[in-house]
């Protein structure tokens, strides 16, 4: 994957005290990004001082309301930068825009894989449908309480929401773990996200060559 994609972008990774956060940082680093990891107990001003090109909200324990600065970061950065939420980060996106997160109706999924059907757009562009994804979560976004600003872009074979996209902003969330070796198409998803970011950086630097 590193031979096919290389995106030299400054990536802010908000760490929700997750044991897998450096796996996620490494996965982005392989693709050429420069990840800066900041814990969720800092202020938004400290995050903003990083001057990122894009933002990732990490997995982690607990609920969106317990995720420190994550929801504020989504509302502030999401209005102007590409932003990706992973697992808890995905749930934080739902909460940030008025959605509801509760216990997953099918029970906890820790280290389990599922087949994921999706719309083939955004970060999911070019991935097979279905593809296999690894899940580590006991909470999920409630489909019946989804705000109008968000659309469902993927579901698992048990019907759980696996991905969301903001209708007007470059904000996407995935419930599964794209950095896991048990999500074989994960590197393509992360590359798609960095591709969104790279396009923005190129645009800000000067006219497009296209």
Which domains, ranges and CATH numbers included, belong to the chain? 10-205 (3.40.50.880)
Per the annotation, the verdict on 46 as an active-site residue is no
What's the mean pLDDT in 124-130? 97
Measure CA 120 to chain center: 16
Rg (CA), the chain: 16
pLDDT band at residue 81 using 50, 70 and 90 as cut-offs:
very high
What's the mean pLDDT in 77-104? 97
The C-alpha atoms of residue 11 and residue 37 are separated, in whole angstroms, by: 8
**Candidates 46, 48, 87, 202; catalytic one:** 87
* Percent with pLDDT over 70 in the chain: 90
Per the annotation, the verdict on 87 as an active-site residue is yes
Query: How much is the mean pLDDT over the chain?
Result: 90
What's the mean pLDDT in 132-146? 94
Nearest to residue 114, comparing CAs of 153, 154, 166, 84? Answer: 154
**Candidates 90, 118, 166, 179; catalytic one:** 179
The C-alpha atoms of residue 147 and residue 98 are separated, in whole angstroms, by: 6
What's the mean pLDDT in 158-171? 96
Residue 1 pLDDT > 70: no
**Candidates 46, 137, 177, 209; catalytic one:** 177
Nearest to residue 132, comparing CAs of 157, 109, 152? Answer: 157
* pLDDT value of position 199: 56
Per the annotation, the verdict on 179 as an active-site residue is yes
Residue 20 pLDDT > 90: no
Cβ–Cβ under 8 Å, residues 140 and 175: yes
């Amino acid at each position: 994957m590193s031979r096919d994609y290389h995106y030299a972008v400054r990536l802010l990774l908000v760490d929700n005290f997750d044991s897998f956060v450096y796996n996620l940082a490494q996965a982005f680093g392989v693709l050429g990004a420069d990840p800066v990891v900041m814990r969720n107990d800092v202020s938004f001003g400290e995050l903003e001082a990083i001057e990122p090109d894009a933002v990732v909200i990490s997995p982690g324990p607990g609920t969106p309301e317990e995720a420190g600065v994550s929801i504020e970061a989504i509302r502030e950065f999401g209005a102007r930068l590409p932003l990706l939420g992973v697992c808890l980060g995905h749930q934080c996106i739902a909460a940030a825009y008025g959605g509801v997160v509760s216990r997953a109706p099918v029970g906890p999924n820790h280290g389990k894989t599922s087949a994921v059907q999706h719309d083939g757009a955004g970060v999911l562009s070019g991935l097979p449908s279905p593809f296999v994804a690894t899940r580590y979560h006991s909470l999920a976004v409630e489909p019946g309480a989804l705000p109008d600003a968000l659309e469902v872009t993927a579901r698992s074979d048990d019907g759980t929401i696996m991905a969301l996209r903001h209708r007007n902003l470059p904000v996407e969330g995935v419930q599964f773990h794209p950095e896991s070796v048990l999500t074989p198409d994960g590197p393509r998803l992360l590359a798609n996200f960095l591709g969104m970011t790279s396009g923005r950086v190129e645009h800000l630097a000067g006219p497009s060559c296209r």
